[in-house]
Amino acid sequence: MRILLVDDNRTTLSILTRLVERVPDCVAIPFLKPDDVLACAAELEFDIAVIDFQMPVYSGVELLTELIRFERHAEKLFVIVTADTDAATRMAALNAGAIDFLTKPVNPLEFQARMRNLMALADARRKLSDRAEWLRAEVESAVAELRAREEEIIDRLTIAAAYKDLDTARHTRRVGAYSEAIARAYGLSSRACSDIRLASPMHDIGKVAIPDAVLLKTGKLTEDEFVIMRKHTVVGCDILKESKSGLLQLAAEIAGSHHERWDGQGYPYGIAGEAIPLSGRIVAIADNFDALTTARPYKEAWTVERTVEHIRQQAGAQFDPRCVAAFDAALSTLLTIRDDDLAAALAELQVAPSVGSGFFRSETRLRA
């Protein structure tokens, strides 16, 4: 245990130092001048401080007040040594943060007894602090493990939804990456951007309930078929919304709102403007950008230039103008994501050319 001693009287300081050295497991750190203490306060290490009240430059109370401004010393134990028994003096010391007093001349037996008690208190405080740190680390570990499980659940569900159509797997991953880039350009926090990246691939999870005859139809949908297709938003939201997972609740919000329009002409509920969740407004642009620049059974892929111009033109109509501005700011990142995904798709095709016709169809659309 390190005991800081501060007294401008050399004889008194020498006596206190010897008394500390007689206490088992104690090391004295003596100072004659309080300003010398403050000069090295940022690096000073001690557990208990014994400070004379009456000193030049800084009184004991003033020195104590300055020391506890340092975070590393704020919870340390301070003892004031004084010949003054005046109540006002003691109240000033207590108000400054002192925990105990010693009266001059210091009685050696009393000093050692008080040091032992204060050492026990300092040790108990340290153990309590260590336990608090251990608990904090355990909570962080548990939260991280829960987060990892949530991410795995979303990943597994996204993979399951992709089994109906191999094109969907790559589409959902790209939409997740696009959405994160747009969210970052919008100014959302790193955690919010990460959450949107993880949750947005679930935006079309409700398509598991859409009949294959409609979902995989190569031609244009009839009006009745389009009504059926629209239901994937409500189904997706219903699948996810009762979860206690924050990520899955965000995914439910996105699933239910990514086809709403800024002007209120979207579906499933026809809500407009900022009544549409921000996550849905962001994913709507990411989903549209990917859908238009990728070939589908019922259409050819649009060029990036044509797609970007379309999204800009739809600011204030289909899309939130601020989200369109974020899309513009993130465009170079989106193009890098798109190029990297195309390269990965081609690499997978070369490694596993026998995956099946569905994959070749997907690769053909990517080339387009």
- Residue 366: the pLDDT is 34
Residue 150 pLDDT class (50, 70, 90 cuts):
confident
Q: Where are the alpha helices (DSSP H) in the chain?
A: 10-22, 34-39, 60-67, 87-96, 108-162, 166-186, 190-199, 212-215, 223-240, 246-257, 278-293, 304-313, 321-329, 331-351, 357-367
Distances (CA, A) of 222 to 157, 213, 218, 228: 29, 12, 12, 10
- Average pLDDT on 316-331 reads 97
Residue 215 bridge partners (DSSP): none
Write the DSSP symbol of residue 272.
-
Tell me the C-alpha distance between 109 and 247, whole Å: 63
Tell me the C-alpha distance between 185 and 329, whole Å: 6
pLDDT at 367 over 50: no
Closest CA to 284 of 210, 188, 178, 213: 178
CA angle 151, 156, 159 (to 5 degrees): 125
Question: How high does pLDDT run on average in the chain?
Answer: 87
Q: Which of 15-29, 84-98, 201-215, 216-230 has the lowest mean pLDDT?
A: 84-98
- Residue 276: the pLDDT is 98
pLDDT at 355 over 60: no
